[in-house]
Amino acid sequence: MQVADAAVDGTRRVLIAADKFKGSLTAVQVAERVTAGLRRVVPDLEVESLPVADGGDGTVAAAVAAGFERREVRVAGPLGQEVTAAFALRGDTAVVEMAEASGLQRLPAGVFAPLTATTYGSGELLRAALDAGARTIVFGVGGSATTDGGAGMLSALGARLLDADGEPVPPGGGGLASLARADLSGLDPRLSSVDLVLASDVDNPLTGPKGAPAVYGPQKGASPDDVATLDAALAHFAEVLATAVGPRAAQYAESPGAGAAGGIGYGALLLGARFRAGIEVMLDVLGFAPALERASLVITGEGSLDEQTLHGKAPAGVAAAARAAGKEVVAVCGRLALPPEALGRAGIRRAYPLTDAEPDVAKCIAEAGPILERVAERIGWDFLH
């Protein structure tokens, strides 16, 4: 079967707009392998690569692949140790990824710190973007090691969070239990004139059964007792902030996205951020619309196509935009856990999991690149030959 050519000059063009295969391939590598497989079938095929991300880890890499400049800065990691983190800059637009400073990948293997991990370094990253002249900051949040409600980030940007003795509270969500007074008057004044966009694929509130500690705390090593401690500490944090800044502090705690990345979404809302679905923001920033216009077939994907994919993950966002433009979409993935009808409703014509080419899951993870090339050859035969 052959897709109708959408390109103005009649040339077949494929747009590869896939996210990473977590633990196996970066989004850039996915695009490279798919391109290699397609060109075995159609050697002169025009392929455009636009690696995508939904605001979580890999967001800066996607921006850099799209032409942003990578900037590195030394900041505090989640345990307070110094790490080298990166943000992306193009003109006066910066893409900042909280996981670069405060992500799980910054913890030593097997080490978790659910009560003490801090987002201080994420605040330092935002400050570095301001120092670089950014007037628009896309703040991608996800993959965090932290559950501190963004308290560390606020402190790095000039807020004072003090205990009953007037001393700074300890780092991490657990330390917020001793919070007696919050003073946000010292926040970096440049924040008031910047367009700060909170980009996330989750819309959880700060606390409660669907809040950051209950839903995501266990992924960061939190025991049931830790979850209860963190939930109470974050609720207390919001109460103290309501005394400092008024009712909006309580409203923000209930707002969609407040619970993103251990509650750093809440801190970002306090800074004046507006919440948007991460993949929508990133497609805008990366220049997806003009690339889509040039394409006759779109290939998206991620490591696991499952129920979560349908709720704001990158492939769903790509497919929705492509369907609105009348373009055909297929997906590649490591593992497929969605029936054809669910894929169809999402705008994906067909999905190609690595497990179809290699049933051994361990081998799919270890040899994802070569197997993905074989899968891409099948797409070439099915859709382009």
Per-residue pLDDT reduced to its tens digit, 165-194 = 999 999 999 999 999 999 999 999 999 999
pLDDT band of 223, cuts 50, 70, 90: very high
Phi, psi (degrees; rounded to nearest 5) at 136? -125, 125
Domain boundaries, the chain: 13-50+294-384, 59-279
Whether residue 312 has pLDDT greater than 90 = no
pLDDT at 2: 41
Give, in words, the CATH class of 13-50+294-384: alpha beta
Whether residue 8 has pLDDT greater than 70 = no
Beta bridge partners of 86: 72
Summarize the confidence of residues 275-291 as an average pLDDT. 96
Summarize the confidence of residues 1-27 as an average pLDDT. 75
Whether residue 7 has pLDDT greater than 80 = no
Q: pLDDT tens, 141-170?
A: 999 999 999 999 999 999 999 999 999 999
Matching fold, domains 13-50+294-384 and 59-279: no
pLDDT at 4: 41
Instruction: Report the alpha-carbon angle 253-259-241, nearest 5.
Output: 35
As a whole number of angstroms, the distance between CA 181 and CA 84 comes to 32
pLDDT averaged over every residue in the chain:
95
Place of tokens 């179809």: 356
Stated pTM of the model: 0.93
pLDDT at 250: 96
Other C-beta atoms closer than 10 Å to the C-beta of 140 total 34
The matching CATH number, chosen from 3.90.1510.10, 3.20.20.80, 3.40.50.2000, 3.40.30.10, for 59-279 is 3.90.1510.10
Q: pLDDT tens, 328-382?
A: 999 999 999 999 999 999 999 999 999 999 999 999 999 999 999 999 999 999 9
pLDDT at 57: 87
pLDDT at 11: 66
As a whole number of angstroms, the distance between CA 219 and CA 210 comes to 14
Summarize the confidence of residues 280-291 as an average pLDDT. 96
pLDDT band of 82, cuts 50, 70, 90: very high
Whether residue 10 has pLDDT greater than 80 = no
Beta strands in the chain (DSSP E): 13-16, 46-49, 69-76, 82-90, 93-97, 136-140, 160-162, 181-183, 195-200, 274-277, 297-305, 328-336, 350-353
Place of tokens 């301001």: 130
Better pLDDT: 12 or 150: 150
Q: Write the CB contacts of 384 (distance below 8 Å, at least 6 apart in sequence).
A: 2, 3, 12, 14, 38, 41, 42, 45, 297
- Among residues 278, 291, 279, 276, the alpha carbon closest in space to that of 320 is found at 279
Summarize the confidence of residues 47-73 as an average pLDDT. 95
